[in-house]
Amino acid sequence: MSEAATRQRIDKWLWQARFYKTRTLAAKVVSEGRVRANGERLTKPAHSVAPGDSLTFPQGDRIRVVEIVALGTRRGPASEAQALYADHTPPPVPRAGPRPTGRDRRRLDAERDGFGSE
């Protein structure tokens, strides 16, 4: 196998693995220096990655940690995309308490605005 067949551009891989909606958005995140490959900060969307590389990057309000398992040939369905990586992202931190109900929010708003029952 040639070198080109065993490596792929980082922006293209992130897009094919469905971490970003467009390849342009993936390239922008890489250009801003928000992606790390094997601990090394990347700034060029043309940086090549290969299976076995570890990537750390932001996605929404989470920091994702994934290991590249395979290179994609197309941007297929989600089931195909999930086969391209092994996810090592830590689980999200649970909330401090239960989410307030509508009644709780109205009561808190009324107290804050000075209309609470006194």
Domain ranges of the chain: 3-113
Q: What is the pLDDT, as a whole number, of residue 57?
A: 96
Which residue has better confidence, 95 or 37?
A: 37
DSSP state of 111: H
Which residues face 62 on adjacent strands? Answer: 59
User: Domain 3-113 belongs to what topology?
Assistant: 3.10.290
**Residue 92's pLDDT is what?**
84
CB 66 within 8 A of CB 60: no
Distance in angstroms (rounded) separating the CA atoms of residues 83 and 39: 23
Q: How confident is the model at residue 2 (pLDDT cuts 50, 70, 90)?
A: low
